[in-house]
A and B are shown apart, each in its own frame.
Chain A
Amino acid sequence: MSDIRISGLTKRYARGAAPAVKDVSVTVEDGEFFVLLGPSGCGKTTLLRAIAGLETPDTGTVHLGDRDVTALPPRRRDLAMVFQGYAVFPHLTVAENIGFGLRMRKEPRADVDAAVRYAAGLVQLGDYLDRYPSALSGGQRQRVAVARAVAVRPSVLLMDEPLSNLDALLRLSFRSELKALAKELHTTIVYVTHDQVEALSLGDRVAVMRAGEIVQCGTPMEVYDRPVDRFVGGFLGTPPMNMLPGEVFGGRGVAGIRAENIEASTTERAGALAGRVRLVEPLGSQLLVTVAAGEQDVKILTPTDFPAGDGADVWLSVAPERIRWFDADTERALAG
């Protein structure tokens, strides 16, 4: 158990190239579930690998607890990692895979066996201990990878898009399991993903990255409700935040409004934005309605019994405090 302090970390893969990670400083609290979120190529995986010791930063330091681990090889850092591609050892059985780290530490056999059984139980692999990975499904292999990481009781657990190779249904169930597991372990977890739903549902805090920098770092609700710039607002949420010209709502700059915060009515209302329904997409629990308002498309979420069909006239209104204002030029949020 330890916190992670990263300061001034920069990593370039090639001389002269744009840095993959640019002067990042961030502290992950002890026992926190910390998510690095961003589009592909934003540097989140590089940052994770720098924490792991698989990449050497050009500048900056990494502290785990009181230890400066910047120059230490991965094995001396007391951490574990779950890889995107599982990375289970094909030549070892499930039990040998899970016990690998402990065997490397030369722990007594009985302790290794007990830890393997415990970790395998956590991820429901108890019946598969003697199998080889080739006889397992993708989801089971990822469970092996998680169990292998948990078994060493690391002070820091790193996860690199552990769910992205699983199919949608499995991803959802495994996500809940991971969250439950994290609660049980109380380990500091750094979790990399490009999936904003994963980030919001799992993280105690989410750091949104773009072009090698952390753009915003906060609780899931903070980054969702109060994005610091248009990028974050557009990256989080399904559908992304609507970005409308501010004049429409009597302000300057760009008005960022979440689809679920827009109230639609089929009767004219004072101060409401008039538009016409262009497209209705049933999502099961809600309707995703695209409304053409002037030259703008506005996405709104409505109850399934919303009466307007294609081509119907609707009036959209938003509570002023639900609008997030951005500067038109800098794209930064105008108020804290």
Chain B
Amino acid sequence: MRRVLGYGGAALLAGWILVPIWFVVVGAFSTADSVYTYPLAPWPDWSLESMRFFVTSAGVPQALLSSVVVALITGVLTLLLAAPAGYALARFVFPGASAYRLTVLATRAFPVVVLSIPLAVFFLQWGIYDSVWGVAFMHTALALPFVVLMVAGVFAGVPVDIEEAAQIFGCSRFGAFRRAVVPNAAPGLAAAGTFAVLLSYNEVFAASILTLQEPTLPVFVLTGLTQAPLPFRYAGALFLLAPAFLFILLIRRRLVGVGGPTLR
């Protein structure tokens, strides 16, 4: 009985998430005609019409490009900043280490809404408002707390003694990090970086406040949503969903217990 309830609940939850997503897929890969029929067919008719329409719509290519550039900058910046922080958390016992860890997380409790307006003002002064850099900086700030903890978990999983062995056999401290730690942490670091990329790619609120003429894809889709024809909406939704899905599929195993068991 318990099992039935458990699995039933799980199926219900999965359905709650998956059914709408499935209809997005159906809509995105159907011809415009069948998209407008009601009820929507349970299977797509595998047409690229909607997708083609979306990608070639005015503004989409630029927005997509902005999104990708912002996401990549975010990924690289986040990793560059998170790696030293995560490494410190994983390797060194320093006064206030746990307080630091908590602070890192606590920054997430700070509402983006409150932060965005003053940031927009600063970005205007610095001349990076409405640019990929401005958005990327914001997204880096948003991604950092999680990524720092993820990266700390990754580094904690690399044995200290191989780092020491590298130092014994000719490496400096940094050389040991580069030659012994990074190669073994690479899959985890890649996962953490991808996480930042996706967070940026799907982030809409900060991006909509910080851009005007150069929106990222989610912002562009959102602003046009009410006027856009159905195929555009379906295809846009799929474009925003797909990377996250692929990512979860690829690194599911590494996401479990991020910052958890490996990092005390």
Which A residues are closer than 8 A to B by beta carbons?
Answer: 52-54, 73-75, 79-81, 83-91, 100-101, 104-105, 145, 148, 152
Looking at the assembled complex, report how far the CB atom of B167 sits from the nearest CB atom of chain A, in whole angstroms: 5
**A104-B168 contact in complex given A89-B180, A91-B183, C-beta closer than 8 Å:** no
**B167-A73 in contact (CB<8A):** yes
Which B residues are closer than 8 A to A by beta carbons?
Answer: 159, 161-162, 164-173, 180, 183-184
What are 14 A-to-B residue pairs whose CB atoms are below 8 Å? A73-B167, A73-B173, A74-B168, A81-B164, A83-B164, A83-B165, A84-B161, A87-B165, A89-B165, A91-B183, A100-B166, A100-B170, A101-B168, A105-B170
Total A-B Cβ pairs within 8 A: 62
**A75-B159 contact in complex given A54-B164, A87-B164, C-beta closer than 8 Å:** no
**A52-B168 in contact (CB<8A):** yes
Q: B168 contacts which chain A residues (CB < 8 A)?
A: 52-54, 74-75, 79-81, 101
Question: Measured between alpha carbons, how far is A79 from B162 in the docked complex, in Å?
Answer: 16
Question: Measured between alpha carbons, how far is A105 from B183 in the docked complex, in Å?
Answer: 20
A sample of 16 more A-B contacts (CB under 8 A), given A85-B161, A90-B162, A90-B184, is A52-B168, A53-B167, A54-B164, A75-B167, A75-B172, A81-B164, A83-B165, A87-B162, A87-B164, A88-B162, A89-B180, A89-B184, A91-B183, A100-B166, A104-B169, A104-B171
**A148-B184 in contact (CB<8A):** no
**A87-B184 contact in complex given A75-B167, A81-B168, A104-B171, C-beta closer than 8 Å:** no
Question: Measured between alpha carbons, how far is A148 from B168 in the docked complex, in Å?
Answer: 11
Q: Interface of chain B, helix or strand or loop or mixed?
A: helix
Question: Measured between alpha carbons, how far is A101 from B169 in the docked complex, in Å?
Answer: 5
**A104-B164 in contact (CB<8A):** no
Question: Measured between alpha carbons, how far is A104 from B172 in the docked complex, in Å?
Answer: 10
Looking at the assembled complex, report how far the CB atom of B51 sits from the nearest CB atom of chain A, in whole angstroms: 40
**A100-B169 in contact (CB<8A):** yes
Q: A148 contacts which chain B residues (CB < 8 A)?
A: 165, 169
The list of the 8 closest CB pairs from A to B, nearest first, reads: A104-B170, A101-B169, A87-B161, A87-B165, A91-B183, A74-B167, A81-B168, A83-B161
Q: A89 contacts which chain B residues (CB < 8 A)?
A: 162, 165-166, 180, 183-184
Question: Measured between alpha carbons, how far is A80 from B168 in the docked complex, in Å?
Answer: 6
Question: Measured between alpha carbons, how far is A278 from B263 in the docked complex, in Å?
Answer: 51
**A152-B161 contact in complex given A89-B180, A91-B183, A91-B184, C-beta closer than 8 Å:** no
Q: A74 contacts which chain B residues (CB < 8 A)?
A: 164, 167-168
Looking at the assembled complex, report how far the CB atom of B241 sits from the nearest CB atom of chain A, in whole angstroms: 34
Question: Measured between alpha carbons, how far is A91 from B184 in the docked complex, in Å?
Answer: 6
